[in-house]
Chain A
Amino acid sequence: MKFDNSKMKISMLGVLILIIGSLSLYSYVNRGTTTQSGETYHFIKPVFAQSMSTAPTFLDEEAGISLYVNINRSIDLSVARPVYRTMEKETADYIVGSVGLPGLSSDEDVHCFVHKDGWIVTYYLKGEPLSKIVDWNLWSQSASKLTKNKLQAGLEQMTSAIAVSVSSVNYYHFHYPNATNCMIILKTVVGSGDRSFNVTIPDDIKVSERSWSHYAQSTWYTYEGTYHTYFKINGNTINSISGITNPVTDYGTLTFTNLTQGTPNVVGVSSDARSSYLYGVCIGLVYQEP
């Protein structure tokens, strides 16, 4: 009886060790892979899983234009947490959520991934155009310069919270992994006027995305109706803004016909405003150099 008890104990201990070992292995293998509301997040794939599976990471699945950095030190996620306006996912290792930007509605929030190993990724979703990163509130007319874009602004909020400064960042577009470059081009007009720039895209450049942003600081005029602003390419109206708006930014994408390759395109913004309001247009290009 005594023998049976000892044997039973050892067997149970063995089974227990096996269960604990299996659970440990399982948790390590699936580290960084959690499920919430039927959504699976993959960011860090285990080495052996990488060799066996080509499953995309959650960034591959949902991110578009992204800005990322590794601050080369660990991040205390409890310090990062208050920066988020909305938390989408939180584990012991990372947080995914959206970060609000000063003076902008929640529609303009940037998504942010922070990992305790020092990684910070700010991004827009893959369905959103590159031109969305332009924050017209950050346009300096006197310096004729966009001081920073929305991804930079989101990153800055996070790095300020964790008290670190970054000098070198990288951009990546998850929806167009073969794209090598991106470019945004801006033209503005203050008050009434018609201003334009020329852009010539060579035929041998593979353009993945052509997008635009059209901004009106105000089109509201009390007594004489509203001001109008037009965004045109080669004389064709792509977008117009009028009515009681304070301010408004429209986004969109362009086709090959709208913005051709091999010939110069004239991109213009005009306004009939009598006040010194700012109006602007931006063209965003994601492309692969030959």
Chain B
Amino acid sequence: MISVLAITIVGVMLFPAEVGVSGSGIIVDGAEYTSTMTNEYSGLLANVTSEATSRVSVEYGDFNSKLELNKSGELGEAASAASSGVVVEYADSASAYESKSSDALEQAATPVTSRIVVEYADFIFGASLGPNPVEIIPEFPSPIILLLLMMLSALALAFIKRTQRKLEISSFSR
């Protein structure tokens, strides 16, 4: 801490003119009065303040009460073991429940997806969507009927050709 202060002091001592002239880069226009103060901290003051203990400064208080705080070593040990607590003030009623989730619950909860949370609604209606009805409606004509039609057409064509050939042969034989 002292070394930091010393570096700061050296820095201020090395560049006092620059700070003073430029006014820390702040441009003031049209002011009736301008005052520039150099922020310096002497080594003596540092020595003095390092020996003084911290004090609470109270201003404008209607009532001040000072309690000597003296922490014993035992209290320190006890306090280190205690966890942070919730401070309840002015409550009509307060109740506390220990919140502890088991590993099994955490494992079960992990695969659950995010949900929309709704509070204080009068009515909620939710539905899963799907599947697409167009995809599940049975197709018609069925492939069997289609195949049958094609086979019938082929058979009809074959029959016609055969009959034609027979007639041609019979006409030649005549």
- A contacts, CB < 8 Å to B: 3, 6-7, 10-11, 13-14, 17-18, 21, 24-25, 28, 31-32, 43-48, 50, 57, 59-60, 66, 68, 70, 115, 117, 119, 121, 139, 144-146, 149, 170-174, 176-177, 179-188, 196-202, 204-205, 264, 285-287, 289-290
| CB–CB A7/B126 < 8 A | no
Q: Would you call B167 and A3 a contact (CB within 8 A)?
A: yes
A-B contact pairs, 13 of them (CB 8 A): A7-B167, A17-B157, A21-B153, A44-B137, A172-B132, A181-B128, A186-B122, A196-B120, A197-B120, A197-B122, A285-B116, A290-B113, A290-B114
> CA–CA, A125 to B85, complex, Å?
57
Q: Is A199 within 8 A of B118, CB to CB?
A: yes
| A173 proximity list for chain B (CB < 8 A) | 129
- Asked if B127 and A181 sit within 8 Å, CB to CB, the answer is yes
Q: Known pairs A14-B157, A187-B121; list 16 more (Cβ under 8 Å).
A: A10-B167, A11-B164, A21-B156, A25-B153, A31-B140, A43-B137, A57-B134, A145-B123, A182-B126, A184-B126, A185-B121, A185-B123, A197-B118, A199-B119, A200-B118, A290-B113
Cα–Cα distance between A242 and B141 once the two chains are bound (Å): 56
Contact with A along B129-159 (1 / 0, CB 8 A): 1111110011111110110011011001100
B117 interface residue (CB < 8 Å to A): yes
The answer to whether A24 and B149 have CB atoms under 8 Å apart is yes
Q: In the complex, what distance in Å separates the CA atom of A11 from the CA atom of B149?
A: 20
B44 to chain A, nearest CB (A): 56
Q: Is the CB of A6 within 8 A of B167?
A: yes
> Are B157 and A25 in touch, CB under 8 angstroms?
no
Complex Cα spacing A46 to B137, Å = 11
Q: Which residues of A contact B122 (CB under 8 A)?
A: 144, 186-188, 197
Tell me if B114 and A204 are in contact (CB < 8 A): yes
Contact, CB under 8 Å: A115 / B149: no
A59 touches B134 (CB 8 A): yes
CB-defined contacts of A174 to chain B, threshold 8 Å: 132
Task: Please tell me which one of the listed residues A31, A59, A205 contacts residue B133 in the complex, with CB atoms under 8 A apart.
Answer: A59
Given contacts A3-B171, A205-B114, contact A186 B134 (CB under 8 A): no
Q: Which of B116, B122, B131 has the most CB of A within 10 A?
A: B122
CA A50 – CA B158 in complex, angstroms? Answer: 31
Interchain CA distance A62-B89 in the complex, whole Å: 61
Q: In the bound complex, do residue B133 and residue A202 qualify as a contact, i.e. CB atoms below 8 Å apart?
A: no
Distance in angstroms between the alpha carbons of A200 and B163 in the assembled complex: 79
- Residue in chain A with minimal CB distance to B136: A70
Judged by a CB distance under 8 angstroms, whether B66 is at the interface is: no
Question: Provided the pairs A14-B157, A289-B114 are in contact, do residues A25 and B130 lie with their beta carbons within 8 angstroms?
Answer: no
